[in-house]
Structure 1
Amino acid sequence: MSLANTNTSFNSVQAATGLAFELRRNAFGRLVFIDLEGHEYEGAIPVRSFPVSAPDQGISVVSSDGSELAWIDKLSDLAPHLQAMIEEELASREFMPEILRIVGVSTYATPSEWQVETNRGVSTFTLKGEEDIRRLAQSALLIADTHGIQFLIRDSKALDKPSRKILDRFL
């Protein structure tokens, strides 16, 4: 990317959002953050501040050493190409399947084997103990399996009746 193109991109990004940076991918597919002065930070990482309650708000872009390079109040404030790059990077780093339905459990005592339908397909995991089910804002829950994978129930009240009945036995 030439410096002239970079400045044009900066001007359009800055005018639309007040932000002054550009992103690109290097030959290895790593994200490169370019600030207004043209300094490049290879291996930049976008990080959500509130991944469950406000996934599109409060995103920090940090360097590979953890220093903050930019703060983004709302992802929708960015130019479409920047939004796409950040969303792509976040998707490659984050893995939090959302439980849509609880198919069944092996036992109502823990540890128990759970069979669930998620937004990423059917899954089976082991719940070690009730303490691995954490309540979040309103009716959201985060369930950790024995391997450390976090499963999200965005709204427990929106689950079907059999799923809520199973879940209530563990809460």
Structure 2
Amino acid sequence: MITAPDYRLQRNAFGRLELTTAGGETHTGVVPVRAFPISAPDDGIGLVDPHGRELAWIEQLSELPDEMRALVESELSGREFIPEIRRLISVSSFATPSTWQVETDRGTTTFVLKGEEDIRRLDSPALLIADSHGIHFLIRDRYALDAPSRRFLDRFL
């Protein structure tokens, strides 16, 4: 495994990420993967080949040169989709399955919560909610939600 100063990262003519080692070996189709995407998103990022083999390790995203960091962040944002819930607008029923209308950092949406077990407690006060289609929604701090949102949520916790 190699570390950040020992390689070069760039996009090829097809828009795929390429990692070139100090020895001149080039790996195409490299994918960045966060070790702790929610609790420490900027710490511990592996660069893996299309077969899942780790090629390089980034201890902290901030240690990369600006251009390389922008490439990694761009690739991660296209790969990871976890909208953050800012407010619960309505809940169809306090029994499951129920339809939730929420406001996220990416707009307003509606999803179906199949069961209370689809609400996972992370490091307090964070929650991860999976909808009926497997899309995950993050509540980073449930205590920071407005009072009506907390009341809706408390019925399911």
Using structure 2 for the length normalisation, give the TM-score: 0.97
Residue matched to 1:87: 73
Tell me whether 1:74 sits opposite 2:69 in the alignment: no
CA contact 2:4–2:57 (8 Å) conserved in 1: no
Tell me whether 1:26 sits opposite 2:16 in the alignment: no
Task: Report the structure, 1 or 2, having the larger helix content.
Answer: 1
Tell me whether 1:97 sits opposite 2:97 in the alignment: no
Aligned residues: 155
1 CA distance for matches of 2:4 and 2:80?
27
- More relative contact order, 1 or 2 (CA 8 Å, 6+ apart): 2
CA-atom RMSD, angstroms?
1.0
Deviation of 1:26 (Å) = 1.1
Percent identity of the aligned residues?
60
Tell me whether 1:139 sits opposite 2:125 in the alignment: yes
Using structure 1 for the length normalisation, give the TM-score: 0.89
**Structure 2: 5+ residue stretches without partners:** none
Amino acid at match of 1:155: D
Tell me whether 1:37 sits opposite 2:23 in the alignment: yes
Residue matched to 2:100: 114
Structure ID, larger Rg: 1
1 CA distance for matches of 2:55 and 2:73?
17
Q: Which runs of 4+ in 1 moved over 2 A?
A: none
Tell me whether 1:160 sits opposite 2:120 in the alignment: no
